[in-house]
Structure 1
Amino acid sequence: MEERSAPLPYPGGWFCVGRVRDLPPGRLRTVRLMGEDVVLYRTGRGAVRAVGPHCPHLGAHFGAGGTVRGEDLVCPFHGFAFGPDGSCTGSPDGVRFRGSLARRHLCERDGMLFVWCAPGGGPEGGPPGWELPPPVGVRPLAWWSGEVVSHPQEVMENSVDFRHVRVLHGLDTRETAPPEAAGPLFTIHQRTTTRFPGLGAVSLEQPVTLVGLGMMRLVAELPQLGSGLRVWVLPTPVAPWRTGVRVAVTATAPLPGIGEVRAVDRAASWAALRATVRIIEQDRPVLAHKRYLAQPRLVPGERSIGLFRRWARQFYPEPAPGFHAEPVPGLRSEPQAGLRPGPDAAG
Structure 2
Amino acid sequence: MDERSAPLPYPSGWFCVGRVRDLPPGRVRTVRLMGEDVVLYRTRRGAVRAVGPHCPHLGAHFGAGGTVRGEELVCPFHGFAFGPDGSCTGSPDGVRFRGSLDRRRLCERDGALFVWCAPDGGVPAWELPPAVGVRPLAWWSGVDPTHPQEVLENSVDFRHTRVLHGLDTRETAPPEVAGPLFTVHQRTTTRFPGLGAVSLEQPVTLVGLGMMRLAVELPQVGGTLWMWVLPTPLGPWRTRVRVAATAAVSLPGVGSARAVDRAASWAALRATVRILEQDRPVLAHKRYLAQPRLVPGERSIGLFRRWARQFYPGDGPGIHTEPPPGFRSVSAEPEPDAID
Q: Note if contact 1:180-1:334 (Cα within 8 Å) is conserved in structure 2.
A: no
Distance 1:198 1:104, change over 3 A: closer
Specify the alignment match of 1:153 in structure 2.
Answer: 149
Distance 1:254 1:6, change over 3 A: same
Query: How many Å separate the matches in 2 of 1:187 and 1:334?
Result: 15
Say yes or no: does 1:75 pair with 2:75: yes
SS in 2 for 1:275: helix
The normalised TM-score by structure 1 is 0.90
Specify the alignment match of 1:115 in structure 2.
Answer: 115
Matched residues, number: 325
Paired letter, 2:9: P
Query: How many Å separate the matches in 2 of 1:117 and 1:22?
Result: 21
Q: Percent of pairs identical after alignment?
A: 84
Say yes or no: does 1:312 pair with 2:301: no
Specify the alignment match of 2:230 in structure 1.
Answer: 234
Distance 1:134 1:334, change over 3 A: farther
Paired letter, 1:43: T
Specify the alignment match of 1:128 in structure 2.
Answer: 124
Paired letter, 1:284: R
Specify the alignment match of 2:178 in structure 1.
Answer: 182
Q: Note if contact 1:217-1:231 (Cα within 8 Å) is conserved in structure 2.
A: yes
Say yes or no: does 1:93 pair with 2:89: no
Query: How many Å separate the matches in 2 of 1:334 and 1:274?
Result: 39
Query: How many Å separate the matches in 1 of 2:10 and 2:68?
Result: 31
Specify the alignment match of 1:41 in structure 2.
Answer: 41
Q: Note if contact 1:207-1:219 (Cα within 8 Å) is conserved in structure 2.
A: yes
Query: How many Å separate the matches in 1 of 2:329 and 2:127?
Result: 26
Deviation track 1:267-321 (CA, whole Å, cap 9, x = no partner) reads 0000000001111111111101100000000111111001100000000011269
Paired letter, 1:16: C
Deviation track 1:182-224 (CA, whole Å, cap 9, x = no partner) reads 0000000000012335543221002100000000001110113
Pick the aligned partner of 2:277 from 259, 275, 281.
Answer: 281
Paired letter, 1:288: A
CA-atom RMSD in angstroms? 2.0
Q: Note if contact 1:147-1:245 (Cα within 8 Å) is conserved in structure 2.
A: yes
Q: Note if contact 1:190-1:207 (Cα within 8 Å) is conserved in structure 2.
A: yes
Q: Note if contact 1:161-1:305 (Cα within 8 Å) is conserved in structure 2.
A: yes
Say yes or no: does 1:244 pair with 2:209: no
Unaligned runs of 5+ in 2: 318-327, 336-340
SS in 2 for 1:169: coil
Q: Note if contact 1:182-1:334 (Cα within 8 Å) is conserved in structure 2.
A: no
Q: Note if contact 1:181-1:334 (Cα within 8 Å) is conserved in structure 2.
A: no
SS in 1 for 2:302: helix
Specify the alignment match of 2:267 in structure 1.
Answer: 271
Distance 1:230 1:317, change over 3 A: same
Specify the alignment match of 2:104 in structure 1.
Answer: 104
Deviation track 1:167-195 (CA, whole Å, cap 9, x = no partner) reads 11111110001000000000000000123
Specify the alignment match of 2:57 in structure 1.
Answer: 57
Query: How many Å separate the matches in 1 of 2:94 and 2:180?
Result: 47
Give the C-alpha shift of residue 3 in structure 1: 9.0
Distance 1:273 1:320, change over 3 A: closer
Give the C-alpha shift of residue 13 in structure 1: 0.5
Query: How many Å separate the matches in 2 of 1:53 and 1:193?
Result: 47
The normalised TM-score by structure 2 is 0.92
Specify the alignment match of 2:216 in structure 1.
Answer: 220
Distance 1:89 1:334, change over 3 A: farther
Q: Note if contact 2:299-2:329 (Cα within 8 Å) is conserved in structure 1.
A: no
Specify the alignment match of 1:325 in structure 2.
Answer: none
SS in 1 for 2:15: strand
Query: How many Å separate the matches in 1 of 2:110 and 2:31?
Result: 19
Between 1:87-96 and 1:189-198, the stretch displaced more is 189-198
Q: Note if contact 2:3-2:9 (Cα within 8 Å) is conserved in structure 1.
A: no
Query: How many Å separate the matches in 2 of 1:197 and 1:278?
Result: 16
- Higher relative CO (Cα under 8 Å, sequence separation at least 6) belongs to 1
Give the C-alpha shift of residue 257 in structure 1: 4.3
SS in 1 for 2:297: coil
Query: How many Å separate the matches in 2 of 1:38 and 1:207?
Result: 33
Give the C-alpha shift of residue 254 in structure 1: 2.9
Paired letter, 1:133: P
Give the C-alpha shift of residue 36 in structure 1: 0.1
Query: How many Å separate the matches in 1 of 2:13 and 2:231?
Result: 11
SS in 2 for 1:291: coil
Deviation track 1:87-131 (CA, whole Å, cap 9, x = no partner) reads 00000000000000000000001111000012xx25xx3211111
Specify the alignment match of 1:298 in structure 2.
Answer: 294
Paired letter, 1:130: W
Specify the alignment match of 2:15 in structure 1.
Answer: 15
Distance 1:197 1:320, change over 3 A: closer
Deviation track 1:65-88 (CA, whole Å, cap 9, x = no partner) reads 000000000000000000000000
Q: Note if contact 2:225-2:248 (Cα within 8 Å) is conserved in structure 1.
A: yes
